[in-house]
Amino acid sequence: MAKNLMSNQQKEIDARTSHIIELAWCDDTSFETIEEQFGVPEKEVIKIMRGHLKPKSFKVWRERASGRKQKHKKLNASQKVQPKDFAGL
């Protein structure tokens, strides 16, 4: 009985892909952070998500990711709230 053993390289690819998917699902992790850690730009993250999620799950994720400023550092940085002066309290 021959067993299909996954090569170490394939295991590393699967682990890397799983980690990218996990980070992409996280609301607080930006696409820029994923690119810094893995060298995978936003368009490739979207392709990974499309290829590894069920169609309905991908649609739900895409709607969430599209509507969140946290997923884009540039948008998030330009929208930061400035601290208020609480000296009078």
The overall pTM is greater than 0.85? no
Phi, psi of 2 (to 5 degrees): -90, 135
Whether 67 maps to a domain, the answer reads yes
Identify whether 72 is part of a domain: yes
Provide the domain limits for residue 44: 30-79
Q: How many domains is the chain partitioned into structurally?
A: 1
Does residue 65 belong to any structural domain of this protein?
yes
Q: Would you state the pLDDT for residue 6?
A: 67
More confident residue, 75 or 41: 41
Closest residue by Cα to residue 69 from 43, 37, 40, 32:
32
Is 59 a domain residue? yes
Task: Give tens-digit pLDDT for 43-85.
Answer: 999 999 999 999 999 999 999 888 777 676 655 554 444 444 4
pLDDT recorded at residue 8: 82
